[in-house]
Every structure is written in structure tokens, then in C-alpha cells.
Amino acid sequence: MVWDHSVSHTFEDSVCLSESCFNQVCGSYDSTASTCYEGMMKSYIGESYVLETGNAQLVNISAYLNYFGDDIHLKYTWMPKFLPKGMPQLACKRYPLNLGKFLEANYLLLWFQSCFGLEKFLMSKQSFIRFSAQFLFSANMDLCSQSNKTESFIKSCSNINSAWASLIVEECVRLGFTYFCIAPGSRSSPLALSATGHPLTTCISCYDERSLGFHAVGYGRGCRKPAIVITSSGTAVSNLFPSVVEASQDFIPVVLLTADRPPELHDAGANQAINQVNHFGNYVRYFFNLPPPGDQMYARMILTTVDSAAYNAMQAPQGPVHINCAFREPLDHSNQGWSFDCLRGLDRWFRNNEPYTRYLGMKMVSAFGNYSCSVIEVLDIIKKANKGLLLIGAVHKEDDMWAVALLARHLSWPVAADILSGLRMRKVLNSFPELDKNILFIDYIDQILLSDSVKSWINPDVIVQIGSRITSKRMEMFLESCFPSSYILIDTHPCRHDPSHVVTHRIQTSVSEFAASLCQCNLERKTSRWQDILMVLNSVVSQEIIFHVHSESSLTEPYVAHVIGEALYGDAVMFVGNSMVIRDLNMFGKGWLEHTTHGGNMMMHNIPDFIGATVAGNRGASGIDGLLSTAIGFAVGSNKRVCCVVGDISFLHDTNGLSLLNQRDRRKPMTVIVINNHGGAIFSFLPVAKTTSPQILQKYFYTSHDISISKLCAAHRVKHFLVQTKTELHDTLLKTRAEHLDCVVEVENHIDENANFHRTISMFVGNTATNYLNYLLGGQTRSDLDGMYNCKIRAMEYMLYRIQLSAPRTSGASDSSFSHEGFILKLRMDDNIVGFGEVAPIEIHEEDMVDVEEQLRFLFHRVKDCELNVVPLLRGSLSNWIWTSIGIPPSSVFPSVKCGLEMAILNLLASQQKCSLSEILTGSNPLLGDQSLVEYNQNRSTLIQICALLDSYGTPMEVALAVAKLAEEGFTTVKLKVGRRETPAEDAAVIEKIREVVGYKINIRADANRKWTYEQAIEFGSRVKRFCLQYIEEPVSSVDDLIKYCENSGLPVALDESIDNLKGDPIDKLQQFVHPGIVAVVIKPSVVGGFERAAHIAKWAHMHDKMAVISSAYESSVGLATYIQFAYYVDRQHDLVARIKRNDSCGSVAHGLGTYQWLREDVSGQKLKIHAPSLGDGMGASVEDAHGYLQHLSINNEKIERTYSEEKIKSYSVQVNGDDFSYLVNLQEAGDCTNDKVVLFLHGFLGTSEDWTPMMKALSPSARVIAVDLPGHGKSQIPQHDAENFSQMSVTVQSIADLLLNLICCITDGEVVVVGYSMGARIALHMALSQNQKISGAILISGSPGLRHEVSRRRHSAIDKSRAQFLLSSGLECFIETWYSGKMWASLRGHPQFDSLVRTRRKHSNITDLSKVLADSSVGRQKSLWEDLKHLKKPLLIVTGEKDVKFREISEQMCSEIRKHGEREAVCHNRQELCEMMVVPESGHAVHVENPLPLVRAIRKFLLKLHKT
């Protein structure tokens, strides 16, 4: 086994995989067998052979490679029972590694592919099988024959029946068909005895021929080779009919050997004698009726019959074949003489191990240019397509899945993949596969077509369909009506699979051949609005489905379909049943699945960043019979762990399959998931359900039952789990993954609930697709789509404002002048189109103004010239834009900053589209498709109601009079702050007084802000229960107490702070608040993290019949005007939800925007209109007024403290001299040059000072920040010397550190904090430990003190020296490709800025200096600083990425070393302060690139801490 330190697998992994495959190979030996067959390995490795030997064993080579120039030194440890005759000889000249003679003839060579490649690896007389992308098996073929053993075995048979049966079984084995499914019976005894006695066969039995037949179908489906089914005569044969039909319809090879009575017993009343001739009719590809065995006939006839049957089973169209075998008695091994003359002509057959008749095909090798005119016509059609759609039906082979994926990338067409294609669910190989736009998967095409508008719009002009079967009926109906100009169908069989009768071109070829041929042709990569809209619609529908399956608190069948992919860990595959199960999986299955890998090396940029998740099913005849048995056979045939998902009726239909589940000689454990809705749920979706009485439906269609699945499992000794909640489902899936046992997971559900939930999802999805299509196509108020996608943010600025409030904020203490400050953001496009946003954090935010400005500076640097390709309120669209365009994880952006940025973007889009923000959010006709909803929407006012806010200080009467005044002004709702008096009784007295003075004409909301204990809240509730509070907001702080309060107080409750700090996707976390006593959710967009997130939470509230109240946080009128339009959108969404759910609307909701009353001053001279209309609907604001305010906004410069647009970075050079060498340093600088806080940034290998530019701009208000180009990098230069002096020059980490200390003396008189990344971190640590007074502290990002052991240092030094030579010889481009393919960069490769970063790395002009630095500054040549850490005097902040396991461990060890030494010296407190460690989430090794915002904040806080000390 050969590997280097950068590959993904360890030596232990290699040994484990080697042993597994070795055991699989050697497991075919039967030491007790009297005969050894030379061809025993064919079923594993095709034409490779293994010599029979008692010495076969695994040879482990414990090795590592040292690189010294062009030589490789192999250190090895042999662990066999004996050594090979010769030692291994390896030779290498860089890559690839070429192996000489490695092992002698009797050894297996196990080879792991790493970065060396496979070119010219295999020698003559060797063949191999690739088990995976990383592993192949190679076996020597220099073997001798043992010709006499088969002949002697046949001749030793006791009677002619045994001889014939042995010939049949032997020929099957030679054909590679070694899996025999045997049903008990007397007449089939010769076949059964021969099959079970053969040392190379694997046999399984079942008392139910129907189950056995389907098991064989599953086996053939899994390995694409036939299983051999042996049955007795009579109805035993007839029981195979359903499985034969399935195999025939879905092209699954199966060989049926049915025993029969001899001719003289037919039509004579003999027992179990029926007419078995052509028993299966046209459903078999071949039938032959063998005569009873006799030595008067040549045995060659038996062999050619088997060979012919095998050929017909495997030749397109593949399918079942039937050989009917009549036997006279004796049926056992009784001696009955027979003549060997019938074996004449078999000498050649006895001498080799080949089948008697070999069927050979002529393969035409041709380029596309040599194809016929018809194929050229097809190519021309594809080239001219403007709206091409690639439709992928059932694909069975992994190679074909890869081929289709490559074809999809090559065509760049939208891809609609069926659930059985293997590409509908995909296992990711990097962090963000959905961002790879090379393959445009439309996973939810079935649900998209719920919209009639979308259905009529899609209209592709060319459809290429690969594979025949399409699961979706809705898709089939669409194909019938879309009438593309060309419809091209590709499949291996010649059969007409065209139920819609739309195919215009039919190509019979393999998927791989078609894809390979097409990929050779140059096709213009076309992008179009049509494709863009399809991708947006798919995203919209995807997010709608995700929302509904997760927001519903109960365990639903669509939820199971959506998350069931979690069971497909590793190489696991899925077998899915028919009826609703496969339809749900096709409609709701998650497209991208997490795939557990080790990160690994990634140099294969020409392949997709995913692997297909194999899903199989019986869709030939689509019956519900035999599904469990098929799945078990599929597990055997595929040799993978299988997750089988079936319905309860299907499961009950095949309970005899449970007997097969107990036989686990040749397969991995299975998980069977049974969706038990106690009947046939699919009928609830059919028209018959609408016109038939419930009693008839229950009895004759649903076939409702109360059968105990757990007891059925117990009877067969199969482990059973009952699942009734989402949590139980996830826990059980994890448990089944850990346990290597077969198990049945029963998921309980109910037909009516399931039907209702499906209906709800369908209506929401259809409405959403229609709504967004209407928006994207433009409507009457939109410009064309090109303008929408071709807009760039050309300029941005922010303004710090300070305004006066009329009173202190109720959220906390304001200063004595009641001032309020914040930032107004201004984004600008071409044509002077602008959009305003606001960021104004207050006491309730986790961030302050300094934090906010820091992030704004960073973001503004990245935002400039970004394409603004977002769709408003597409959940995740704005967040996705922040990630893909700015390169920042959205979770690292402060909530108020994210809200302000989204506000500015939404207002910018509205300005560009020349419409109001509310129109942008709702679409020009948000309820299109339901005329009653359209009319309802047209009658609604565009006014939103506003709730007054009152900080209830003063006596009860004073507060009551204040409320009375608000009521007179027109307010219908008021919110009182409670929990601020001595006792809850005093707060209750205020409520009582208000009711006395004002009565019940105003709604009262009480806000306790979590001030009370549970007992105090209960006391308040008991005192105000009769005063009709609309709700009490956050009475207690504990969630458990909150739920208990709902149950015991009888008061309606509202959420506020409880939703403010929900990290990640809030929907799952909101499930704890579904209690009906919680009637409202108060949502502050600036606190929850923006408009997308706020809209998401509001929709959850509506789905659970709760009010969604939009609340401000004392923003200026810029923020308020935006919130007004957003609140209008939320109200309209509530109306939509109520209509779809057929609920009564709770009426107008008064939103929490009453903070406008606090604004004594504003950022604009204009005034936002808020008034009570004459109709008496309550105090409110209109969408038109809010839009007008923003449209004509003019900032009052008197309220602006300062404005920031963009900061220029100063660049200059300084000559620095050192003991070993000197170099001209290029520096970049930002910030005030007089600032005594100075930060020096040091990049890593291949980086430049420009890597730090965004962080420098963010930190420039806090410090003077300087970044340098290290020697050999960027614009820095090492003065050239002659070759001899240059080679003797040492550019080590120590020498660079000394040079930088000299540089610091040149640029500042004060102290410096050094921030270093990777190589720069090692340099920074040297500087911090140098005892130089110029260094006040250091921040180490993904850094190391070096290697502790001399052996490791020598090894790494040799590796880096080899890499340096590779850089010189192969060039920078090739080196960068190799460098970033390592495991350490797995996380960075998934970052959207990775390609841009690589482009900057290619700009290095002097690779000679670069290679010199790589070799000299190697961690192997660096002095180990582990001991020096004990003497640390300067503060360190050690930063590492969450995903960087290696450097997290190093960082923890560094902190431990520093602190342990402090404990020994009894200065623990000081040592603890000297060293801090920070793990940055959502980042790997390159923290400063992958998630820079937490790092920026940490650097500033580190500076503040140093400054204070």
C-alpha cells in the first residue's frame, strides 16, 4: 500500500479496506470441498484468476515515503508468515509513480490510488477490478490449469440426473451466475443438490416461491447479473409469475430452472403435473423444454441450451429466461449406471473453465463524425436547442450515473431527474454543492408543475430523455401537452416506452456510450432567462417544501420522504416501494444529502462535486407484491447496505419476505422503514375519494387494518422500532446506523391527516410557483428580466446619524439627552438608482455601534461591483447572495447589520423596478390563480394598523389617562410595559384602572420582558384574567415555565425575546412553541436577523394560527417606512394562509411600530405619515405613504455626524537588511498613521498583503494596520545574487522574523501586535518569543510552534524540498492545482471565493524565490518552539477553524503547554491571561478567508485588552 501524508485515508483505513476486500475474495474458497474450481474468482474479478494455494494471505506494508529530489525512499515493515522471493523495487520520476515488479505470482497486490495516478501501472498478465474511486484489486494471471478435476467430478455422479444437473450448475457458474434461489421440492432435488454441493455457489431458500422469485429479481437489479431460481413442478412454477412479469417489464435478467414431470406423466392425472411449456408466455426472453436426462443424448446440448438462455437473458432487452427441466426418478444420489459416451466432445470444456459457447459481439469504435446521418441530425437538434430539457429516467449503474452527470454538465441544460435515476438525491463532496451552477438540477419539477401558469410557460423546444421510466404522473401529463419540436429518447433496449407518444428520435445505445460521444462534441454553453427562471422556481418550491415539512409539528409522510436520505450514509443505497412511498420521495425528497467523507484530496476538477444516491424500485409493473423480498435480493446483489422504504399494505403483502431477512450469509444489514397509515393511502388522492362514502372507501379501497407489525417482526425474530415523532425518527435512524442488525422501523401515520397535509402543501407550492413566475416574468409593473439580473452595486456609503428622542427608550437606559444614533446605508446602481437601509443597534442587540461599523466597513469593500441577483423573500436568496457574492457566512453577520443590508437591497430593487417595496415583496398579483383570493385582496386596504407603546411609569390613574388619550387619537391597541414595579399586584392594578377609565374599546397587550418568576407571573395572571388582555408578552424567562404558564394561567401569551436568539434555521426550534396558548409572535427584523428570517418566522406563526406582529426597535423613519411595507406583506401572507387552511382570519393585526412617537427629530426633513383614517380602522400607516417617503427621501445633513464611502489603501516599499539576506518589502497601510495601536499582518505561503485588505479597512478606525508581502511573495523582492550565493542563502522562518523586527523599527516607534496566518503565524510566534520589546502581542491563525521530533522534521523538510523542486519544474499553475488539492484545504475549496483566491495566487511572478521560501521556511527546517512556549511573556491569541481538526489539536496543546508551565510557577492567573484560544465556526484552515468577521472582532478586542493593560 502506497500513500503520502496528504491523502484522505490513514494507514489504518487502508488496512481495514484491504482486509475487507481480501476476505471477500478469499471467502470464496471452500477448504472442505473435494474439488477446487479454477474459475472460482470470476464472479468477483471477471477474467482474473488466483492460484489454489494454502499460503494466500494479506501482506501489509507499513510504509511512508520520503521525497529527496526525484528519489523515493520506502521504509517498509513486512508482516506475512513468509517473505516474497524478491524485495519490492520502486522507481519514480515525480508523478505518476511507476511500479516495477512488486510482488511474486502467489501474492495479491493491493494498491491505493493517491496523488500519484495510475498511468501504466498494470503490467501484462495482470488484471484488476476497481471497487471504488480510490481502491482497486489486482491479481496475477500467471496460473496453471488443473484440467482433470471437473471431468472427474462429473463422471463420479451417481446417476444421469445428477450428471445433467451438475452440468447445468457448472455451466451457470462458468457464466458467472453463482447465486441460486432454491424453493423446497422433490422433483427439483437433482438441481438443488448440485447447486448446494458446488463450492462456488451461494444458495438461499424460501418456502414461498413468490417471495423467492422477487428475491431473484432484486438480486439481478442489484448486480445486473441473473440469479438462478430452482423450483419444483406444479403451482410452484405459477407462483413465480408476478416476479417474472416484473423482471420482464423492467429488463432484469433472471434464469428460471423449473423441474417438471416427464412426458409420460402429463395428461395422466399425475400429482403436481401441469403444463409448464411456455408457462410464462411472452414475459420470458427465451424458453426451452429440456427432455428428461438420458445418456443417449450428448451433454453438449445441455451446455449450449444454458449458454443460449444466458445470452438471451443478458442481451438487450434483458429479462427472464426459462428452462423447463423434466426429471424421472431417482431424484436423489441413488446409484444408477450411465454411459460416459454422452460426454463426448467435452474435452476442451473440461480442460478450461470457460462456458461451452462464447457469444462474441463486434464493437464499432467510431467518433461522432463517422456516425450516420440520423445521429448527426440528433446532434444538430441539440446544438440548435434554445430551451433544452434533460430528463433522466431510471438509471441502474453507477457508471451510467456518472456519465449522465458529465453529460448534464456538458449540455448545461436544466436537468429533471427521476427518483430512480440515482441523481434525484445526491451526496455532496464539498460544503456547498448547490452553488455549483455547472449542472442545473430541477429537483422539484413535479411540484413546480402544480402551477398551471408554470406548466404553460415552461414549453421546452427539445427534450432529451435518458432511461425509460418516469415516476411522476404529473410529468407524464405535462409531456403529453407540451409538444416539443424534438423529443429524443436514449435507452439500451429497443422497446417502445413512450406512453405520451411524443418521442421523435429513438436511440438504442448505452447511456455511457451516448454521453461519451456527445461529450466529444463542442457545444456552445448557453445561458438564458428561461434557465434562470427555472432555477429560481426550483429554489422557491424547494424552500416552500422545506418550510412546510419542518413547520408541521407532527410526523408526516412528506417529512419522512424529505429526511429519509439521512439513512444513506457511506455507500448505502435505497430500495423504495410503490404506491405513495415512491411518489412522496420523488415529490419531497431532499436533493442534496450530506456525505460522510474525510475531506480528502480533490484534484478531479473535471468531475461533479457529488455522487449519485442509488435508488431502486420495482417499476416494471409497479405492483405492491414482493417488495420486501426484492429489497433483500437487491442488498445481496449490490453488496451494499440497503434502506428499504415501503407502505404498510406492501409490507403485509410480502410478510413471507421476513423469512429471507433472517438469512444474512452474503449481505450487509438492512433497515426496512414501513410507512403505516393503516391502509392504502393512495386512494385518498384519487377522484374516487371525492364521490364515495367513507364506509366504502375504508373497506374496499383503503383496506383499513389494525395488524400489529411489531408482532409480525417478533414472530420472525426481526428487531422492530415504533416511531411516532420526528425526534424518534431521527434517533432511530442514528441507532440503526450504529447497530449492524436487520431491523424494521414502523412510522405511524393516518390517512386523513396525510391527505390534508398533502393538499395544503400542494396549494402553497402551486401558489408560490405562480406568484414568483409572475414576478420574474415582469407583469405590468416590471421591467424586463435582463435588467433584473444585470444590475451591479456601483457605489455604497454609510452615514452616522444622531437624533433626539422625546423620551428614554423603554428597552433600557438612554443618555440624559435622550439621543439615538445609527447608520443610514446607501447603495447605488447605474442611472442614479439608490436604496436606503438602516442599522441602529440598541440595548437589546448583542452588537454595539463599534461592532456594527466594523462589519459595515468590511462588507462595503466586498459589496462594491457585486451582481445583485437576488429574488426578494426567496428564503435564503439574500443570505445566499451574502455567501456567494461577498464570501461571508450569513450567520457571522450581526442581525442588525444583516437587516440593514437587506433593507437597502430591497429598497434598491424597488427603486430599480419603479415600484413600492410592498409590490416587490408581494408580487404584482400575489394571489394569482384563485379568483376569490384576487377579489379579496383587491378589497383590502393598504393601511396597516399600529399598536401604541406606553412605558407605564406613574400612578395607575396617570397611565389610564395616557391610554385614554391614545384611544382618542385613534389607537385601537396599546402595549404596556409591566414587571417594573415592586409587585405584580401593582401592575395588575394599572390594568384594572385602564379598564375602569377607558373600558374595553381598546386592546391591551402587556410586555413583561421576562422580568418575573413563574410564581409572580401566575399572580399577575390571576389578577388580570377578567380584564381581557390580548396577550401577555414573555412573562417568564424559561421555555418550560412559559409552556406551564400557558397551561395554568389561562392567559394568552406572546413570544418576543424567545425568538431573538434562535441560531440557524429557526423552524425546528420554534416547534417547542406550538402550544395553542401562545397566540402571537412579536418579530423585530433587526434583532432576528433581517427580513427573510422575519418573514419565515411570521409564516410559521400563521401556519400555527398565531398572530405575527412586526415590531421596530426605535429606528428612524427610514426603517419605519420599510417596516410598514413589510408588515403589509406579512398581513397579506396571513390572509393567504387562512384561505388555504380554510380558517377564519383573525382580522387586522396592530403592528408594534409605535416607536415613531419617540422621534423628536428624524434623519430627514420629511415626515412619515401615520394617522387614524376616518373610517375608524385605528391608527395606522399606508403603504403608499411609506413608499412615497422612501422614494423622495432627502437626508438632513445636520443630523449626520460623518459619512464613509471608501477608504484608500496606501502602498509603499521599504528596503530591509538582515544577517542572511535583505529584501525590498512591499507594504500596504490603512488607518491613522499617528495611532499608537499598530497591527502588522503576515500572510501564509502563496498569499500576499492584499489578502488582508478587507480586514484592514474594517480595523482602520481602531488601529494603524499594515500588511507586508513576505519574501518571495507579491511585489516584495529578494535582490538577485549569483546562483551559488543564492543557493547558500537561507530564507528561514527565523531569518524572516529577524528582518520583520528590523522593519518594525523603520515604520513605527511604538509596539506592534503581529497577526500571522499559517506560515505567517509561525513567523509571528518567533517574533513574540524573541523577547523583543517592539512586540506587544501576537495573534496566531492556524499556526504551529513546529514539530517536536527530529524524524518528523526531516520528513517534512524533505517533502517541502520536493515540492519546491516540483514548483520549479512544473510551473506555478500545476503547483497551485496540487497544493490546494490537499486535505487541509477541503473547507476552503467549498468557499465561493476559492476560484478568485486561486487567481490571485497565479500572479506571483518569481517562482524561483517562491520555491526558495517554500524549501527554506519549511516546518521541517524550523526550530521547534514547544519548549520556548513555557517562557512566553507576551499575550497570545490562538485562532483556529472549527473544521480544522489538526490545528485545533495543535492550538489546544499550545494553550495547555503555556498554562501548565504557569501552574508550576504559581502564576496561573497571569499565564491564563497570556494565552487565549478562539475557535471560529464555519471555517477550516484559512479562517481569515472563510469566516473573517469573527476574526476582525477578536483582533479589535485583543487590541483593547492590551491597551487597557
Q: Which positions are catalytic?
A: 975, 1084
Per-state percent for the chain, helix, strand, coil, to nearest 5: 45, 15, 40
Rounded to 5°, angle at Cα 251 from 247 and 253: 70
Q: Are 298 and 287 in contact (CB under 8 A)?
A: no
* Sequential DSSP letters for 1291-1348: --HHHHHHHHHHHHHHH-SS-EEEEEETHHHHHHHHHHTTT-TTEEEEEEES-----S
Cell of 768: 408560490
Rounded distance, CA 430 to CA 1391, Å?
9
Rounded distance, CA 217 to CA 627, Å?
10
Consecutive H or E run containing 1475: strand 1475-1480
Q: Are 286 and 309 in contact (CB under 8 A)?
A: yes
Say how many C-beta atoms besides its own lie within 10 A of residue 323's C-beta.
Answer: 21
Rounded distance, CA 1482 to CA 1465, Å?
37
Rounded distance, CA 757 to CA 1017, Å?
37
Q: What is the CA radius of gyration of the chain?
A: 37
Say how many C-beta atoms besides its own lie within 10 A of residue 358's C-beta.
Answer: 9
| Residue type, position 680, single letter | G
* Sequential DSSP letters for 1438-1502: EEEETT-HHHHHHHHHHHHHHHHHHHHTT-HHHHHHHEEEEEETT--S-HHHHSHHHHHHHHHHH
Cell of 46: 471477471
Q: Is 261 exposed, middle or buried (0-12, 13-18, 19+ CB in 10 A)?
A: buried
> For residue 1167, what are the CA distances in angstroms to 55, 686, 1190?
93, 58, 11
**Which among 236, 193, 186 has a CA at the least distance from the CA of 211?**
236
Rounded distance, CA 1325 to CA 1340, Å?
7
Question: Cell 460426454 appears where?
Answer: 343
Cell of 845: 442587540
Furthest-apart CA atoms within the chain: distance in Å: 121
What SS3 state is found at 683?
Answer: helix
Task: At 1240, give phi and psi (nearest 5°).
Answer: -110, 120
Task: At 743, give phi and psi (nearest 5°).
Answer: -155, 155
> For residue 1381, what are the CA distances in angstroms to 70, 133, 981, 1246, 1389?
21, 16, 64, 14, 8
> For residue 1329, what are the CA distances in angstroms to 107, 1306, 1452?
55, 20, 18
Query: What is the number of residues in the chain?
Result: 1509
Measure CA 1220 to chain center: 51
Beta bridge partners of 730: none
Q: Are 516 and 422 in contact (CB under 8 A)?
A: no
Does residue 1392 have a cis bond before it (omega within 30 degrees)? Answer: no
| Residue type, position 1152, single letter | G
Q: Are 411 and 386 in contact (CB under 8 A)?
A: no
What SS3 state is found at 836?
Answer: strand
> For residue 1389, what are the CA distances in angstroms to 430, 434, 1130, 1383, 1384?
8, 14, 39, 10, 10
